[in-house]
Chain A
Amino acid sequence: MELLNYAFMQRALLAAVLVGVTAPAIGTYLVQRRQAVMGDGIGHVAMTGVALGFLLNTSPVWMATLVAVVGAVGMELIRSRGKTSGDIALAMLFYGGLAGGVMIINLAPGGSTANLTSYLFGSITTVSAEDVTAVVILAAFVIAVTLGLRRQLFAICQDEEFARVTGLPVRFLNLLIAVTAAVTVTVAMRIVGLLLVSAMMVIPVAAAQRVTRGFTATLTTAMVIGVLVSLSGTVATYYIDAPSGGTIVLLAIGVFMVMTGVSAPLARRRARAARAAEQICTRDDVKV
């Protein structure tokens, strides 16, 4: 455990835990309302923010947060209009964000797309003390929203029309989900990278669903899986010099496959039990 002696590793591990908790937490709601790709879109848009941070010589993390929040609110407004052209508008927003990032980074003094690589795929050695402060504050916000408002957010993601008739402030909560997703993207950016952020929002949830029946159970299991793969991926990256994002996401996919393997016999057993119950009913019928 000599890796804990390095300050950069301590920072990376703390950031990894926070990514592992926050990404699946907001991801559960996005998957619930079938918006799994939203994280990916926000990741693209955040590129413009990172590049602006370089250009203006301010913190890329805070700048990315700002731009990602604006982008996510735009996506939510497009979604809530429900127009058929929404698809195209979203694509424009995604690729506009990515193109803007590439453009702006080259305008920054001494900047080139090479500066972006660690933001695209994650890197444990570049997590600065300032980054950690930002990540802790942002992660606290994400956890407060996703866990504190889980009954309300569950209701609007499950059935938006019904939620409106219960009198919940649905429009506000929808915007809150979008903002929280944007904030999560910047929390995860340094460790997992902008291009792989969405994977951490979706894969742990997909893996958890293999064995769960309820929403709270899925949310909790996904967060546990998230922390496990994020921590072990970061540790592995310490030994094998690779971008942490790639390692973490491959581990997550590994967990998904294991869970799928485990769930198959489980589902078979449940089906057998259901069949057995049916047979009992049939015999009852015959008796009558």
Chain B
Amino acid sequence: METATAAKAAEQPVISLRGATASLGSRPVLRGVDLSVHRGEVVALLGANGSGKSTAVRAVVGQVPLTDGTLSLFGTDFKRFRDWSRIGYVPQRTTAASGVPATVREVVSSGRLARSRFGIPRKADRAAVTRALDLVDMGGYADASVNALSGGQHQRVLIARALAVEPELLIMDEPMAGVDLANQEVLAGALREQVAAGSTVLLVLHELGPLEPLIDRAVVLRDGCVVHDGPPPEAVGQHALPGHDHVHPHAAHDAEPLRTGLLS
């Protein structure tokens, strides 16, 4: 009996979004989106600016209310879902700069709250934070102020914060935005290790970039609808996508963009 339920749970998609609609103000942003991600898959959400890809991932983590459709995570209806420690979330650049300095370790430790919640942090919690920092190669910056980091380093800190909880599912909203190539390579390496360890990943990308070899499937959105769900488009095909607005990460090599995440 128990094994039967376990087997059933394994079959169920980790993320199942069916016929999702959502609007921001009066503007419909998602118009019936179906998206399912299975255990161990790495799925990229692609699309032009305003296509609804960011709204789609924010809906998956419950930050955008659905006006219609259903959402379940790990086979549990979203309304009853409480298992937040199974999810590591990297929001798109945090909106406002914080008014008080914080060290890299303090920020990454807050990711651990999904496990320790109101408890006292234990040795295992501290070890997980250190491991997460090492994964993104920021171990040497643990006691530095996040205000003193570059945009790329800052993004690595936000990813470490998501990894600190040791999630089964990583959800990342444009983790490569405003990150120079060297930092993109570090992030790709960290992600490769997660995937090798069996993590499931859903990430919003503007271009596949250095992550291309890791992606199993790409879902392309246009005007709030899914227009492609299958193997990732070729680099050339990617450029041919409707609405592609030609932002090239390699341009960042000469001039690092000034978008600095939390700090801008």
Contacts and interface: CB of A to CB of B under 8 A. Distances in A.
Interface of A: 28, 31-34, 36, 149, 151-152, 154-155, 157-159, 161-168, 205, 209, 212-216, 218
B117 A167 contact: yes
Contact of B99 (A36, A155, A214): A36
B161 interface: yes
Nearest to A28: B100
B99 A31 contact: yes
A53 to B, nearest CB: 34
Contact of B101 (A157, A164, A167, A215): A215
Interface in B115-151: 117-118, 121, 143-145, 148
B101 A205 contact: no
A214 B101 contact: yes
Contacts of B121: 151
B185 interface: no
B4 to A, nearest CB: 29
Interface residues of B, number: 34
B102 A166 contact: no
Q: Interface centre among A32, A162, A163, by most B CB within 10 Å? A: A162
Contacts of A152: 113, 118
Q: Interface centre among B85, B96, B102, B148, by most A CB within 10 Å? A: B102
A236 B118 CA distance: 42
Could you tell me the dominant secondary structure of chain A's interface residues? helix
A218 B106 CA distance: 12
B69 interface: no
Given A158-B107, A213-B145, A214-B143, A166 B101 contact: no
Interface in B92-107: 94, 96, 98-103, 106-107
Contacts, number: 92
B165 interface: yes
Nearest to B148: A213
Contact of B100 (A149, A151, A215): A215
Contacts of A205: 100
Contacts of B113: 151-152, 155, 163, 166, 168
A215 B106 contact: yes
A151 B89 contact: no
Contacts of A209: 100-101
Nearest to B115: A166
Q: Interface centre among A152, A164, A215, by most B CB within 10 Å? A: A215
Contacts of A162: 89, 91, 94, 110-111, 161
Contacts of A164: 62-63
B117 A165 contact: no
B91 A154 contact: no
Contacts of B118: 149, 152
B149 to A, nearest CB: 12
A46 to B, nearest CB: 24
A81 to B, nearest CB: 14
A154 B106 contact: yes
B160 interface: no
B51 interface: no
Contacts of A36: 99
A154 B85 CA distance: 18
B98 A166 contact: no
Interface in B54-69: 61-63
Contacts of B143: 213-214
B145 A214 contact: yes
Given A159-B94, A167-B84, 14 more contacts: A154-B106, A154-B110, A159-B110, A162-B94, A164-B62, A165-B63, A165-B114, A166-B89, A166-B110, A166-B111, A209-B100, A209-B101, A214-B103, A215-B102
Contacts of A214: 101-103, 106, 143, 145
Contacts of A165: 61-63, 84, 87, 89, 91, 114
Nearest to A166: B114
A149 B120 CA distance: 10
B125 to A, nearest CB: 10
A152 B120 CA distance: 11
A163 B91 CA distance: 11
Contacts of B153: none
